[in-house]
Amino acid sequence: MNNNSIIIYGGSFNPPSLAHITLANQLLISTGAKKLLFVPVGDHYNKKGLIPAYHRVNMLKLACNKNRRLLVDTMEIDTERKLYTIETLDKLKEKYPGDDLCFVMGSDNLRDVLNWKDWKRLLTNYKIIAIDRGEDRLWKVLDDNPIMKSYKENIIQVAGLIQSNISSTIIRENIKNKRNIGHLTTIEIIKYIKKEGLYL
């Protein structure tokens, strides 16, 4: 990857966890990309327990405040309907025409990508940063899907990532059950959650 690369990291970030923030920072260091954009899903994304987008954006901005190469893009929040990944990437490409866009995807989603809208164009026009999930390794996904092997020059694996099993779900459960979340996200995000009375 080159320093004309922008990493696109989508998700609900409900709330952003230390795992999200650590992964984003590691990806910037390992790839030398010029920036990473967190792209949170909009309120029309039908997910149980999803809090309003403006809270998730505010928390992501707090997560970004120590690294000016981390940014938040509200592309999916600002649209009237849920966007397909290819639509989000096409819109971002209009915004950053001179840059290589690299989309972060877990190996579980990569395994399913041939069922996604315009998957051929997705794998041709954009680079995928594949993150191993659990026992599912990138090499295994490619072995199991011979069609995808012809796109493998656009599928990037970043070596040496330290992965964490901290999830937003664990944070929400701990808040609900009045358990400590100090080790699960940043102090700024914890203060924001308390101030706004979120996830109770």
How far is C-alpha 80 from the geometric centre of its chain's CA atoms?
A: 21
Q: What is the pTM assigned to this prediction? A: 0.94
Percent of the chain past pLDDT 70, that is, above it, reads 100
Please give the Cα distance from 121 to 99 (Å, whole number). Answer: 17
Q: What is the mean pLDDT of residues 103-120?
A: 94
Tokens of 49: 């327990």
Quote the mean pLDDT of the chain. Answer: 93
List of domains in the chain: 5-163 (3.40.50.620)
Task: Look at residues 103, 88, 186, 199 and name the one whose alpha carbon lies nearest to residue 151.
Answer: 103
DSSP structure string for 56-82 = HHHHHHHHHTT-TTEEE--TTTSSSSP
What's the pLDDT band for 92 if we cut at 50, 70, 90?
Answer: very high
What's the pLDDT band for 139 if we cut at 50, 70, 90?
Answer: confident
